[in-house]
Amino acid sequence: MSETYIDRFPAEAKVVRSAFYGSFLALAIGGLMGIIQTLHRTGYYRFIDSADYYTVLTAHGVFLVISFTIFFLVGIFTWAITTSLDREVEDIRFTWGWYALMAIGITLTGIAILAGFTDATDISSSVLFTFYAPLQAHPMFYLGLVLFVVGTWLAGADWFRSWWAWKQENPGERIPLPTFMVLTTMIMWYIATLGVATAILLFLLPWSLGLIDSVNPTLTRTLFWFFGHPVVYFWLMPAYMMWYIMLPKVSGGKLFSDPLARVVFILFLVLSVPTGIHHQYLDPGIAEGFKFIAMTNTMFLLLPSFLTAFTVVASMEHGARQRGGTGYFGWLKALPWRDPVFSGMALAGLMFAAAGFSGMINAGMNINYLVHNTFWVVGHFHLTVGTGVALTFMAVTYWFLPQVTGKALWSRSVGLAQVVTWFVGMTFMSNAMHRAGLLGIPRRTAEPLYEGFEYSAVVGSVGELQAQIALGGLLLSLSLLLFFANVIGTVLNGKSDSLPANEYAGTLSGPEDSPRVLDNLKLWTGIAIVLVIFAYTFPLLSIIERGGLFGPDVIEYVPISVDSLPLLVGAIELVFANTLAAIGDGGTALLEGVTR
C-alpha cells in the first residue's frame, strides 16, 4: 500500500502542517536576527544601535531554540505516534487545544521581546533565552513561556493517551520504537520543565509583577539550568529519532539495532537532568563537590551519543551495501548523496560529531574555565542545535512536507544546495567562533573587541576570524532563503499522486531481541527521579541557606567547597536506599529480563 500520511490521517496532517508553519515562521525571524548580529559584531555592517543588541540576541535565541525547534518537534512527534501506533489521536479538538496554547504563549513572549525595539511602549524583555536575574523581563514574557510549556505538557498527555488506548487493545505487545522514543523524551521533558516552571512561577513572574522585591539569583539560575541542560536533549532526541528511523531507510537499508536505540533513549531519560550544573562551573555560590557530581554525570551522558554514532553509521553502511557499496570506506560512495533528505541528515551527523568534542571540552570542570562565556560556547551550540538539530529538521522537511500537504517537493536540487550551503557556512562560522573563544573573545556582547586591548592569535588574525564568521553567517542566510523558497514552492504546488508511502525504517534486530524491562517506563522514570534528587537537593538547599529563598538584593559571594565529608557520605547512602526502594519489583524484573 502506498498511502501518504495525509491520506491516512487527514485531520492530524493539518496539525502537523500547522506546527511546521509555526516553526518556519520562527526560523525566519530568528534567522534574520542572526545575520543582523553577525554583521554587527564583526563590524562589517552596522545599522542597529549597540544598545539594541540584547534585544536582537534575545529574539534570535528564543525564536530559534524555543519556537523553531519545539514547534517542529511537536509536529514530528504527532506524526511518530499516529504512524507507529497506526491510530488517530483520541480527540482532535484536544490536539488543536495544545497547539493553540503553544501558539498563544509564544506570541505573547515574542511580542514582549520585539516590543523592546520601539519606544512607543515600555514593554521590553531583553533578557536572552536564559533570562537570568537580575535581568528582568516584562511579565508577558514569562507568562507566554508558561503557556507555551503547558501546551507541550498537554501535547505529551495527548501522546500518552494514544499509547494507553493502543496498549489496552494490544496487551503484551512491545511499544513501537518511534512511540517509545516520544514517550521517553516526554518523561524527560516533564521532569526537566519542573525547574523552569518553579523558577518562573515562584520567583521571576512575581518579581516582574512587583509582588516580591528580590530573588536569589543563584537559585533562579540553578533552576534554569535544571531545565536548560535537558532542553538541549529535547531538541536533540527528535533529531536522533530521525537518524534512527528515517536515515537508515533513505540510505537504502534498515536500522542496525532496535534494542540499542531503546537503551539510548533510556539513558537520556535517566541522565539528562542531573547534569545541569555543568553550566555553572564558574558560579561561585555552588560547592565544587556538586559541580564534580554534575561533571561525572555529564561524562556518562556521552555514552548514548557514542552508541548513536555507532548504530546510525552501521545502519548507513548496511544501506550502502544493499545499494552495491563495497570496501572498508568505499561504501560511502554508494550512499544517495544527491538526495537532500539523506545528505542533510548525514552532514548534520558529521557536524554533530565535532560538536560532541567541543561539548566534552566544555564539560571538563577545569578546562571549562578557559572557554566559559567566550565565543567558543557559541561555536559549540551552533554545531549542536544549530546544525545537528536544525539541519536535520530542514532535511527531513523535504520528506515531511509532501507527506503532510500531499504536494511534491518543489525542487530537490535547491534542497541539496541548501543543505550543502548550511554545512559549508557553519564550517566557516563555527570553526572561527571556537578559535575566537580560545583567544578569550567574549560571547553575548555587541562590542567584542575592547579598546586598548589586543587579542593575539597564534595562527591567523582576529580580522581573519571575523571575516570567516561574517562569511559563514552570509552563507547560512543564503541557505535559509533557499529553504524558504523550497517550502513556499512546495506549498504552492498542485496535489501529486505519486508520492512515496508514509513508512519508516525496518530493523535488522528488533525489539524481540531485548529484555522486556526496557519498556518498563515506570522503572526508568523512578531511577531518573532518584538521580535528580541526588544531584539537586543538596545544592538547592545550600543555595537557599546562603542566599535566602527570595534572596537579598545583593549577595556577597565567596567561593565555597564541600568541607564536610559526612554530608557526601550521607547523600550517597540516601541515594542507594532510595534506588533500592524505587527499583523494588522493577529490579527483580530487570534481573529476570537479563538472565532470561
Task: Point out the residues that are catalytic.
Answer: 229, 233, 380-382, 443-444
CA distances from 13 to 88, 89, 151, 253, 400 (A): 10, 11, 19, 27, 10
**Among residues 33, 66, 89, 312, the one that binds ligand HAS under rule CB under 6 A:** 312
Distance in Å, CB of 477 to Cu ion, minimum: 27
Q: Which is nearer to Cu ion, 229 or 407 (CB)?
A: 229
Near ligand HAS by CB under 6 A, which window of 295-303, 397-405, 416-424, 452-460?
295-303
Is residue 380 at the binding interface for Cu ion, with CB under 5 A as the rule? no
Distance in Å, CB of 366 to Cu ion, minimum: 17
If one counts every other C-beta atom within 10 angstroms of the C-beta of residue 382, the result is: 23
Nearest to 74 by CA among 163, 180, 148: 148
**Among residues 308, 405, 418, 514, the one that binds ligand HAS under rule CB under 6 A:** 308
One symbol per residue from 130 to 159: x for binding ligand HAS (CB under 6 A), - otherwise; what is it?
Answer: x-----------------------------
CA distances from 397 to 13, 86, 242, 344, 402 (A): 14, 21, 11, 10, 8
CA distance 201 to 209: 11
**Among residues 389, 391, 469, 482, the one that binds ligand HAS under rule CB under 6 A:** 389
Backbone φ, ψ for residue 360 (5° rounding)? -65, -35
Distance in Å, CB of 28 to ligand HAS, minimum: 20
507 bridge partner residues: 255
Q: What is the CA radius of gyration of the chain?
A: 24
Q: Which three cell numbers stand for residue 85?
A: 501506533
**Among residues 17, 40, 60, 229, the one that binds Cu ion under rule CB under 5 A:** 229
Nearest to 475 by CA among 515, 505, 431, 530: 431
User: The cell 513572574 sits on which residue?
Assistant: 205
407 bridge partner residues: 495
Q: Which three cell numbers stand for residue 4?
A: 501518504
Is residue 372 at the binding interface for ligand HAS, with CB under 6 A as the rule? yes
Q: Rule CB under 6 A: which of 460-489 touch ligand HAS? A: none
Distance in Å, CB of 101 to ligand HAS, minimum: 24
4-23 in b/e form (b: 16+ CB < 10 A) is bbbbbbeebbbbbbbbbebb
Distance in Å, CB of 163 to ligand HAS, minimum: 25
Is residue 261 at the binding interface for ligand HAS, with CB under 6 A as the rule? no
Q: Which is nearer to Cu ion, 77 or 227 (CB)?
A: 227
Near ligand HAS by CB under 6 A, which window of 309-317, 433-441, 541-549, 561-569?
309-317
Nearest to 70 by CA among 26, 12, 30: 26
Enclosing H/E stretch for 74: helix 69-85
Q: Which three cell numbers stand for residue 571?
A: 547523600
Distance in Å, CB of 362 to Cu ion, minimum: 8
83-94 in b/e form (b: 16+ CB < 10 A) is bbbeeebeeeee
Question: 535, 193 in Cβ contact below 8 A?
Answer: no
Near Cu ion by CB under 5 A, which window of 47-55, 63-71, 224-232, 445-453?
224-232
One symbol per residue from 206 to 235: x for binding ligand HAS (CB under 6 A), - otherwise; what is it?
Answer: --------------------------x--x
Near ligand HAS by CB under 6 A, which window of 318-326, 380-388, 482-490, 546-554?
380-388
Distance in Å, CB of 364 to ligand HAS, minimum: 8
Is residue 278 at the binding interface for ligand HAS, with CB under 6 A as the rule? yes
CA distance 346 to 394: 12
Backbone φ, ψ for residue 507 (5° rounding)? -125, 150
Count of residues interacting with ligand HAS (CB under 6 A): 35
Q: Which residues sit at the interface with ligand HAS, rule CB under 6 A?
A: 130, 232, 235-236, 243, 278-279, 298, 301-302, 305-306, 308-309, 312-313, 346, 349-350, 352-353, 356, 359-360, 362-363, 368, 371-372, 377, 380-381, 384-385, 389
Site residues, Cu ion (CB under 5 A): 229
